[in-house]
Structure 1
Amino acid sequence: MERSTTSWLRTLGIQLSLCFALYIVLNLGQPQKLVYNDNGSPFDLYFISVRGGFRSLQEQTHLLKLMGNVAKAYDLKFVVNISELGEDDPLMQNVTRLSPLLNVPWYTTGGSKHDGFGCFLHQVKLPRGRMLDILSLNTASLQDTVVVGSPSGKRGNLSNWLTRTLKATTSDWRVVVGFHPLVACKENEEEFTAKLINEPLHHIFVKFGVNVYLSQQGCFSYALQDNVAYIGNPGLIKENSRLGYGNGRYRIRTEMTDGFLLHRLGSLEMVTYFVTSAGEIVNKIVVQQRGRQVM
């Protein structure tokens, strides 16, 4: 009992130290490495995912400054921009003025020039011979087929590309990104539960061991379905919107909140923090390899 209490206090102390140090990095711009790294390893890889779209110039500059502080402190490897505007996204256009992010690669959803229908695979080498797959899906084509009613058209092309690409890789981690969320809310009395929007894509995720699907946030900030973690990037949250969780709990936001997700990828887990534009860490998600668990 005594040993269990000591272990719990040590874990709590480490997490508080991480949050405090990250707050200093975000708000004071100190490019220092963290002494307490939330059980992290020197071999961990850090990247950011951020919701693109239109913001005022002041809001863009402030958000990119916070991201630049993180880039310096964590040796950031790349940024994933979740946007339906592709490479014309205003946030990406403005980043060229900020030196801390100049040398960090940016990958964006929507309208990618990598192929004819806006999908691409980017592979990142990890320490010890491991590999991370970043697969971007042009989910706008899914919305088009809903309207047109032709499941064998663009939707079929998207599914075929995803299946073919996943079959051809043997990476340790697989993260799929798209603009549109694939999990919706299902209201049951006073609770909200997660409901899949696209079952065929989800079956492909499960079959080929996709760990995470990143998108803009719908009604859930994250949900776990059949060992696949669906994580939504809040971006600008509208007033009175529900910031929900896949276990049915939710809370109401009455203010505008902007920010980004900081991801730490290790050999066995991916830890995700939602960092607000005020430099506050308000959420933490842990995904075990092959998406076995989310906390």
Structure 2
Amino acid sequence: MERKPIWICTLATQVCLFFALYIALNLGHPQTSIYRAKNSNEFYFISVSGGFRPLLQQTLLLKTMENVAKSHKAKFVINTSELGEDDPLKQNATRFFPSLRVPWYSTRVSEEKEINCFQEKIKLPHGETLEIVGLDTGSLQETMLTRLSNGTCDNCLSSLTKTLEATDGQWCMVVGFHPMVVCEANEEMKAKEIYEPLHHIFMKHGVNVYLSKHGCTKFAHQDSIAYIENPDLVEYLDGREMVDGFLLHGVSPIEIVTYFVTSAGEVVHRTLIRQRVTVCCHQSA
């Protein structure tokens, strides 16, 4: 029996993937489409949880991110990944999707002795500034646990404190890989020991949002600080499986609106944060 040339098999595979992607993007009628959620007075950016994904799942996610970035004129992407600049989602996005060739700010996880931060000042259309502070939560956890056991944790957050002292924008968002909200009962003491000092620093220096990867909850708030977590690779909502997703953030002078968007372009819920007050609401679509 004559074998088909390899290129024919490759072409057939690519055609099948294309039609599977087309069907996934066009079947169904989402309750709320992100393409109808645009506000001309808001400045938009995207955040996403990086990592490895199957090819079709990654392509679907990146194509929807590109469409949303194009329709909302998203200015940059925040990648809450432990892989930093080596994250495959970022590498493929900036290589193959033109509308995602915007600045990407990536978190990282290391075990260094010093807690390192990066700081970005983003000018908003109405003259305000959004400050983004990236926190290496790997070195943070390692350092704080070690010094807590030795009783010498007075200065272990000095680098973060100095960075936040230098912020003067209207909005301040801290970004890290590890979530700060711990739900398991046996983790409560660890959470209190590690994260309470961090929360007090956030409060003192006017941090509005802490953004991280997905943990045990998508959203929580304490005092005037919102703790928001990016969707995981596969989420479950109301007893049904939900595909991959990302967050779209819209910033205005008085509020930040965050939309949880599935890779099919459906808005599952939104979070509204008021300036220097508290979280206003958390609504399902």
TM-score where L is the length of structure 1: 0.74
- Cα distance in 2 for residues equivalent to 1:275 and 1:228: 22
Q: Tell me the distance in 1 between the aligned counterparts of 2:254 and 2:149.
A: 37
Match of 1:280 among 262, 266, 280: 266
In 2, distance between residues paired with 1:93 and 1:153?
A: 42
Please state how far the C-alpha of 1:278 moved relative to its aligned partner.
2.5
Q: Secondary structure at the match of 2:136?
A: coil
Q: CA deviation at 1:255?
A: 2.5
Alignment correspondent of 2:203? 206
Are the counterparts in 1 of residues 32 and 266 from structure 2 also a CA contact under 8 Å? no
Structure 2 match to 1:8 = none
Q: Where does structure 1 differ by over 3 angstroms across 4 or more consecutive aligned residues?
A: 18-21, 145-158, 251-254
State the SS of the aligned residue for 1:210: coil
* Other structure's SS at 1:274 match: strand
Report the count of equivalent residues. 243
Q: What stretches of structure 2 of length at least 5 have no aligned partner?
A: 1-29, 186-190
Structure 1 residues 153 and 278: alpha-carbon distance in aligned structure 2, compared to 1, 3 A threshold: farther
Q: Is 1:53 aligned with 2:39?
A: no
Residue pair 1:119, 1:136 contacting (<8 A) in 2 also: yes
Structure 2 residue identity aligned to 1:100:
S
**How far 1:257 moved relative to its partner?**
3.3
Q: From the superposition, tell whether residues 153 and 279 of structure 1 become closer, same or farther in structure 2 (CA, over 3 Å).
A: farther
Structure 1 counterpart of 2:228, from 227, 231, 246: 231
- Does residue 135 (structure 1) correspond to residue 133 (structure 2)? The answer is yes
The residue aligned with 2:278 is: 292
Match of 2:123 in 1: 125
Question: Residue in 1 aligned with 2:13?
Answer: none
Q: How does 1:207-286 map to 2 (within 5 A)?
A: 207-237=204-234, 253=239, 255=241, 257-286=243-272
Match of 1:100 in 2: 99
Q: Give the structure 2 partner of residue 15 of structure 1.
A: none
From 75, 81, 84, the equivalent of 1:83 is: 81
Letter in 2 for 1:133: E
Matched residue SS, 2:157: helix
Deviations 1:210-261 (A, max 9, x none): 000000121111111011000011222467xxxxxxxxxxx66552531000
Q: Contact 1:229/1:291 (CA < 8 Å) preserved in 2? A: no
User: Looking at both structures, which has the greater relative contact order when contacts are Cα pairs under 8 Å and sequence separation is at least 6?
Assistant: 2
Q: Is the 2:255–2:272 Cα contact (8 Å) retained in structure 1?
A: yes
Contact 1:111 1:117 (8 Å CA) reproduced: no
1:127 Cα deviation from its structure 2 partner: 2.2
Provide the C-alpha distance between the structure 2 equivalents of 1:200 and 1:107, rounded to a whole number of angstroms. Answer: 25
Paired letter, 1:175 = M
Structure showing greater Rg:
2
* Residue identity matched to 2:228: I
| Aligned 1:147-162 pairs, distance under 5 A | 148=146, 159-162=157-160
Indicate the residue corresponding to 2:6 in structure 1: none
Q: Using the TM superposition, give the Cα deviation of residue 165 of structure 1 relative to its aligned residue in structure 2, in angstroms.
A: 1.6
| Cα separation, 2, equivalents of 1:158 and 1:126 | 33
SS at match of 1:220: coil
Amino acid at match of 1:215: S
After superposition, residues 57-76 of structure 1 pair within 5 angstroms as 57-76=55-74
Q: What is the alpha-carbon root mean square deviation over aligned residues?
A: 2.9
> Offset of 1:110 from its aligned partner?
0.4
> How far apart in 1 are the matches of 2:126 and 2:235?
43
User: Equivalents in 2 of 1:131, 1:70: separation in Å?
Assistant: 23
Percent identity among equivalent residues?
50
Shift of 1:151: 6.8
CA distance in 2, matches of 1:163, 1:149: 17
Report how far residue 66 of structure 1 moved. Answer: 0.4
Q: Which is worse superposed, 131-140 or 164-173?
A: 164-173
Following the alignment from structure 2 to structure 1, what is the Cα–Cα distance between the partners of residues 44 and 256? Answer: 10
Aligned partners of 2:104 and 2:144: how far apart in 1?
30
